[in-house]
Amino acid sequence: MDERTVSRAAFDAVIFDLDGVVTRTASLHARAWKQVFDEFLARWKWGNGGSRDPFDIEDDYNRHVDGKPRYDGVRDFLASRGIELPEGDPSDGPDVESVCGLGNRKNVLYNELLSQGGVEIFEDTVTQIEAWRAMGLKTAIVSSSKNCATVLQVAGLTELFDIRVDGVESARLGLEGKPAPDIFLKAAELLGVEPARAVVFEDAVSGVQAGRAGGFGWVIGVDRVGARDALLANGADTVVSDLREVPTGS
């Protein structure tokens, strides 16, 4: 049994992934990805054995796109189906059949879903963040999404975090996406803490892999969907389904 606690004696900061840990927006991402890829596969014609099976909202989402920068997700999913598209350019419109075009189409759909339903938050996470901030721990939010600031603003959570490293900042700074540890290491740097003195909270396999690769002091997997074994196998030290399960010291 892991006997560590989140405490000022053991750690200086707590770093959180956004989707699936702080906000319940992962389902919106998955729905947007499914629509994009299913529409694309329905019209795609090829003769080299590529699969036209619909996008699986659980397996394909978790395996190929969850936690990754948008264009990496497009690339990885298409490769899994034996499909190659031109890379295109980030300025491509959402109707352009390129890696960037499909990624941009997903972003349009995601923002439509976001505007229709707002943002649900995980109360257990917000409660714990408030408690840990009161103890004096620094807080950071990280996300591969370029919509992170908007989501936090809509949810009323912006003030809970000392710094934010998201898809916009990653692109500006040339950071590699998860499972590379860049985004977490940049968060620790901006907080002024050593990775070994920070706790990472992640719900994606690529995220716990990134936390492990970055040498963080405690990588906690957050299992909202029955992914406990996968999180443990890929780098999580501990897995919880509710952040109130995480032992807290003083």
Instruction: Name the domain boundary from 65, 85, 117.
Output: 117
Q: Residue for token digits 């692109």? A: 171
Q: Is the pLDDT of residue 189 over 70?
A: yes
Residue 4 lies in a domain: no
Residue 135 lies in a domain: yes
Residue 67: give its domain's CATH number.
1.10.150
Active site residue 124: no
Residue 186 lies in a domain: yes
What are φ and ψ of residue 118, in 5° steps? Answer: 70, -160
pLDDT band with cut points at 50, 70 and 90 for residue 36: very high
Find the range with the poorest average confidence among 41-45, 53-57, 183-187: 41-45
Alpha carbon 217 to its chain centroid, in Å, reads 19
Q: Do 227 and 149 belong to one domain?
A: yes
119, two tokens: 């943002």
H/E segment holding residue 227: none
**Cβ contact 246:7 at 8 Å:** no
Residue 86 lies in a domain: yes
Q: Do 185 and 145 belong to one domain?
A: yes
Q: Do 19 and 140 belong to one domain?
A: yes
Residue 111 lies in a domain: yes
Q: CB-side exposure of 152: number of CA atoms within 13 Å?
A: 24
Q: Do 83 and 159 belong to one domain?
A: no
User: CA–CA separation, 242 vs 250, rounded Å?
Assistant: 20
Mean pLDDT of 178-195: 97
Instruction: Name the domain boundary from 92, 117, 142.
Output: 117
pLDDT band with cut points at 50, 70 and 90 for residue 58: confident
Peptide bond into 86 cis (omega under 30): no
Annotated catalytic residue: which of 2, 12, 17, 229? 17
Residue 128: give its domain's CATH number.
3.40.50.1000
The domain of 111 spans: 27-117
Q: How many domains does the chain have?
A: 2
Q: Do 113 and 129 belong to one domain?
A: no
pLDDT band with cut points at 50, 70 and 90 for residue 49: low
Q: Do 109 and 169 belong to one domain?
A: no
Would the pTM count as exceeding 0.95? no
Q: Do 18 and 33 belong to one domain?
A: no
Residue 231 lies in a domain: yes
Active site residue 76: no
CA dihedral 194, 199, 202, 205 (to 10 degrees): 70
CA distances 227 to 123, 202, 215, 223, Å, are 20, 12, 22, 6
User: CA–CA separation, 243 vs 16, rounded Å?
Assistant: 11
Residue 170 lies in a domain: yes
DSSP 168-187: HHHHHHTPPPTTSSHHHHHH
The closest alpha carbon to 201, from 152, 150, 249, 241, belongs to 241
Instruction: Name the domain boundary from 117, 152, 168.
Output: 117
The set of residues, in sequence order, having a beta carbon less than 8 Å from that of 138 and lying 6+ positions away, is 12, 13, 14, 162, 191, 192, 193
Residue 5 lies in a domain: no
Annotated catalytic residue: which of 2, 12, 19, 229? 19
Mean pLDDT of 82-97: 93
